[in-house]
Amino acid sequence: MPKLWEESIDEHRRSVRDAITDAAWRLAEEHGPLSLTMSQVAGAAGIGRATLYKYFADIESILVAHHARHVDEHLRALEDLRGESASPGARLAAVAHAYASICFHRGRHASADISALVHRGPEVADAELRLHTLFVDLIAEAAAGGLVRTDASPDELAAYCRHALEASGQARDLDTAARLTRVVLDGLGYPTQARDSGQTSVVKNHRRLH
């Protein structure tokens, strides 16, 4: 099979898969995942049921696939953001502010029923490890530059940072999430005069993160 033709087929399959997962997630948010049927998803995606079953076996697998893609996009954005700041401290601040913003929006849009379905399995564990490793590396870089405390290991501080920032999911607005992020950076020992440097990058990349 010619390479261009093969790439075209792969792109078509990705487009169909994305259309299915987007449609299912939208319907699940509107009506709840427990009442959702494969026929409804096929209709919303503009495909036949036979085509749908070529891609997914059931509703749960569709929602898990959508969640995995969404998480991967967020992680890629955080990893890209890490490379856009010059200093270790600015990189840590930028990613911390961005992750708080992600948690804020996730808290406003995710339903308990959907969360219960998608937050399990090896994909979730892999994503959490990837996120944790990102924060460990950022904190270690900042510690090497004397910008954060060293009385706890980067691994311990990364766990603290991640879990504290996830409280942004209950924040009433983005300003509250930003204040919480500043508190978390203070807890890491990051200098007060430099702790807000990541916010400009977060605003610039807001559309990409959500």
- Is residue 8 classed exposed, middle or buried when 0-12, 13-18 and 19+ CB atoms within 10 A define those classes? exposed
Last residue of a domain, one of 57, 83, 105: 57
Distances (CA, A) of 173 to 89, 110, 169, 180: 25, 16, 10, 11
My answer on whether 142 and 191 are in the same domain is yes
Contacts of 66 (CB under 8 A, 6+ apart): 21, 22, 24, 25, 118
Tell me the pLDDT tens digit for each residue of 30-60.
888 888 999 999 999 999 999 999 999 999 9
My answer on whether 51 and 96 are in the same domain is no
Q: Quick check: 45 and 20 in contact, CB under 8 A? A: yes
What is the reported pTM? 0.79
Q: What is the CATH number of the domain that holds 52?
A: 1.10.10.60
My answer on whether 191 and 113 are in the same domain is yes
41 vs 2, more confident: 41
Cα-Cα-Cα-Cα torsion 8, 13, 16, 18, nearest 10 degrees, comes to -100
Per-residue confidence (pLDDT) for residue 203, from 0 to 100: 44
My answer on whether 72 and 53 are in the same domain is no
What length does the chain have? 210
Residue spans of beta strands (DSSP E) within the chain: none
Query: How many CA within 13 A on the CB side of residue 169?
Result: 12
Structural domain boundaries enclosing 144: 59-209
Residue type at 75 in one-letter notation: L
Tell me the pLDDT tens digit for each residue of 174-192.
999 999 999 999 999 998 7
Question: What token pair was written down for 44?
Answer: 């919303």
Structurally, the chain folds into a number of domains equal to: 2
Q: What is the CATH number of the domain that holds 89?
A: 1.10.357.10
- The SS3 of residue 153 is coil
